[in-house]
Structure 1
Amino acid sequence: MNALFRRRQGVVDSADLSGPARVDSRTKNLTKRLRPGDVAVIDHEDIDRVSAEALVACRPAAVLNAARSSSGRYPNLGPEILVEAGIPLVDDLGASVMAVKDGQRLVVDGPQVRSAAGELLAEGAPQDRETVAAAMAGARDGLSTQLEAFAANTMDYVQREKEVLLDGIGAPDLRTAFEGRHVLVVVRGYHYKEDLAILGSYIRDYRPLLVGVDGGADAIIEAGYSPDMIVGDMDSVSDHALRSGAEIVVHAYRDGRAPGRRRVEELGVDHVVFPATGTSEDVAMLIADDCGAELIVAVGTHNTLVEFLDKGRAGMASTFLTRLRVGSKLVDAKGVSQLYRTRISTWQLALLALAGLLALFVALASTNVGQTIFGLSGAWWDDLVNFFRVLVGLDPSAPTT
């Protein structure tokens, strides 16, 4: 079994399946401190695509999941991404694996997780291409059930929050002027790096307001820009981004609880606390819409049914409602890259024409025919000048005094 597991995962040395444990029940928090060669210990049912890609980027020796990486609710892409990247994934290890001390050296031996001394700590189910494919097939069969739940949840949300759909959220007083501007909302989600890269020309020409949703602010900075506003509960954005000069909007619950307020207060940065229903991603779009943005371009946000389901049932209804509210202004980054072409100004066209004429002049000057043409042109020009001098009474042959 162990040899089969290693062969399917492409692991050639058992030493590759050992390393110091990094333990956290929240995957996005763990990836901030996970380093290559560490063993990631998580408790994440239905690993989503964003979490899996973040784990792959950290290059851990293995991923140990206390829960099931695919529960069968819907065809989540996370396990497939991990397996295709060659990262050993062991599922359903139970709560005992979360008791492992951070930094403790672990050895992953097929389905078993042992201490460096050989003590058996937990036992689970190794995942490979075959098991992941079987789980995905079963999840697709049950997708209709999730679709029904999604529709019911959305209708319930619309009943409770219909004023958002009809009247907007009533944005707080902000110093950032959105009126008539393009707004780029960046979420550290699906393909955000690629999307930001292909929007370089658009950003240079239109200079949209850059709004980072939590860690999206760091994505903006990494791409070489400065965020104008940061919206979120401040759990995944760096201190550097919070001190960048951007306007800070702390997303709070409707009851006024704001988990991120204490952090920004400790940093001493100016901020606005804004209670609103929905995710921070949704709130950023709704603020832009309420404040008069002309166009909202989304980077790394959720668009497909599977992406909505990746968010969990609690968040997907607000996302769907937000799309209804701002749909006339909302464009996905990939759509912008396909429709947009760099604008060429008049002076750029003039410069291009001048460069063409200069190249033609140099080419002609290097040939005998060109030199003859320039000589004749010079003589013709002299005759023309002399003609006008005679016409105005200046005799070109008269001596000068």
Structure 2
Amino acid sequence: MSALVSGRARIGRRTKDLTKRLVPGDIAVIDHEDIDRVAAETLVEKKPAAVLNAARSTSGRYPNAGPRILVEAGIVLVDDLGPELMDGLADGEPVLVDADGIVMAHGDRIAHGEVMDPPAVEAALEVARAGLSDQLEAFAVNTMQYMIKEKDLLLDGVGTPDVRTSMRDRAVLIVVRGYHYKEDLVTLRPFIRENRPVIIGVDGGADAVLDAGYGLDMIIGDMDSVSDRALRGTAELVVHAYRDGRAPGMERLRELGVADEAVLFPAFGTSEDIAMLLADEKGASVIVAVGTHGTLEEFLDKGRAGMSSTFLTRLRVGSKLVDAKGVSRLYRQRISTLQLVLLAVAGLLALAVALWATPGGQALFQILGARMDDLLSWFTSLFAAYPESPSEGV
């Protein structure tokens, strides 16, 4: 059997948890139906030799971007390998995948799937595009259900907790570890430097903020994908809880010893939703969103019905909400470094012209010119050849 790729298996049912353990050359073993863009980009960053998916990377619900991103990055993607894949492999053991999509380990055939080359990915996406109408209908139904459940929160802010972080009349930057969040944080440097916004990290977005070199004012989320480093910092902690009050994230905060001042925010929807609603309710002048979901494809790409809440949340805070990409395109530094240099040069030239127009200024320039001649002569003399003494050459 000719091997297509080989390496050590790294197994994770949750892709975002698995990527924390991957190193280049590993074989990522996942169970992820409809691989979304964010998961694919995170996998590409880790440079695995292959991705083995127990589920279908494109189920046909909608044309998700993840499989194309993996294949275009040169990563072998083997699809629909079945549940036996997760049960038949041990984490860290050597795995061999052949060109027919057969997975071998410890000399045995573990599973058989489809190798997703570019034509196969495009064919799957074409089928998925036909399923968009059904998804739109389901999305509309979920939107109505969420609106009924959370009408008090959406319309009147009922249930928003009290927090110590002041946002009144200030810009608020909400960072989600989502679409192009790293690039957006780089382009927003002038805006952050000049406006000093309140910075909120949503779960893993908190680490993105710290990695970019900024400080955190608040962390909001269920606390499952944020690092201990971020949680032990000085940021205020707001735990996203279920409507019945259950908050699994609070248990982790207790283990870290940081639960005493944490605040609960029970709500349906996603953590990025409640971050926007909280900022709006606390009087933010503008809300700048990094990595959040803004288009229908992105809502569907999240892969869960609850994303309809984000659609309604954006309608609720729409007058204040600005996407980071819009800020980076429209916002410019008031005065750039080059402009300051040119202004200084122009000022010096104007001063020189003004001095030259006066007798005193002309005398000053003549004195400076003489001094420069003397300095140049002294400097030149340092490199002049000395005359040969009479005793030399005898």
- Shorter-chain TM-score category? 0.7 to 0.9
Q: Secondary structure at the match of 1:231?
A: strand
> So what's the TM-score if we normalise by structure 1?
0.85
Contact 2:51–2:75 (8 Å) recurs in 1: yes
Q: TM-score, normalised by structure 2?
A: 0.86
Distance 1:81 1:209 in 2: 33
CA 160–171 in structure 1, closer or farther in 2 if over 3 Å, else same: closer
Q: Structure 1: how far apart are the matches of 2:134 and 2:313?
A: 23
Q: Structure 1: how far apart are the matches of 2:14 and 2:340?
A: 57
8 Å CA contact retained: 1:165, 1:324: no
Structure 2 residue 117 is the aligned partner of structure 1 residue 128: yes
Which residue of structure 2 aligns with residue 104 of structure 1?
93
Q: 1:194 offset after TM fit, Å?
A: 0.5
In structure 2, the residue matched to 1:324 is 315
Aligned mates of 1:63, 1:351 — CA distance in 2:
51
* Contact kept in structure 1, 2:159 and 2:265, CA below 8 Å: no
Q: 1:301 deviation in Å?
A: 0.4
Q: Per-residue deviation at 1:170?
A: 3.2
Instruction: Report the CA distance shift for 1:354/1:306 in structure 2 as closer, same or farther (over 3 A).
Output: closer
| Gapped regions of structure 2 (runs ≥ 5) | 366-394
Identify unmatched segments of 5+ residues in structure 1.
Answer: 4-13, 379-401
What do the CA deviations read for 1:60-109 (whole angstroms, capped 9, x no partner)?
11100000000011000000000000100001111011111111111111
Once the two structures are TM-superposed, the CA of residue 141 in structure 1 deviates from its matched residue by 1.6
Q: Indicate the residue corresponding to 1:283 in structure 2.
A: 274
Give the match for residue 93 of structure 1: 81
Distance 1:18 1:353, change over 3 A: closer
Contact kept, 8 Å, 2:220 with 2:239, in 1: the verdict is: yes
Answering whether residue 157 of structure 2 is matched by residue 168 of structure 1, we say yes
Q: Out of 91, 111, 114, which is 2:104 matched to?
A: 114
Query: What is the Cα deviation at residue 163 of structure 1?
Result: 1.6
Which of 127, 130, 136 aligns to 1:147? It is: 136
Q: Distance in 1 between matches of 2:341 and 2:76?
A: 57
Aligned residues of 1:226 and 1:244 also touching (Cα < 8 A): no
> Structure 1: which amino acid aligns with 2:265?
F
Partner of 1:84: 72
Q: 1:375 and 2:362 equivalent?
A: yes
State how far apart, in whole Å, the 2-side matches of 1:105 and 1:371 are: 86
Partner-residue secondary structure (3-state), 1:51: helix
Partner of 1:74: 62
Distance 1:301 1:268 in 2: 30
| 2:20 partner SS | coil
The aligned runs of 1:323-342 (5 Å cut-off) are: 323-342=314-333
Matched, 1:357 2:326: no
Residues 1:261 and 2:250 aligned together: yes
Let me know the Cα RMSD of the aligned residues: 2.5
Aligned length: 361
> What is the CA distance between 1:171 and its match in structure 2?
2.0
User: Between the two proteins, what is the percent identity of the paired residues?
Assistant: 63
Q: Distance in 2 between matches of 1:156 and 1:280?
A: 18
Assess if the C-alpha contact under 8 Å between 1:92 and 1:124 holds in 2.
yes
1:61 aligned to which of 49, 55, 76 = 49
**2:26 matched to 1:38?**
yes
Counterpart CA distance in 2 for 1:261 and 1:181 is 29
Question: Is the deviation greater in 280-289 or in 162-171?
Answer: 162-171
Would the aligned equivalents of 2:182 and 2:208 in 1 still touch at CA under 8 Å? yes
Is the 2:142–2:306 Cα contact (8 Å) retained in structure 1? no
For 2:363 and 2:33, the matched residues in 1 are separated by 85
SS in 2 for 1:17: strand
1:273 match: 264
Give the CA deviation at 1:364: 9.3
Aligned partners of 1:349, 1:106: CA distance in 2, in Å? 58
1:220 aligns with 2:209: yes
What is the rounded CA distance, in whole Å, between the counterparts of 1:285 and 1:248 in structure 2? 15
Shift of 1:351: 8.6
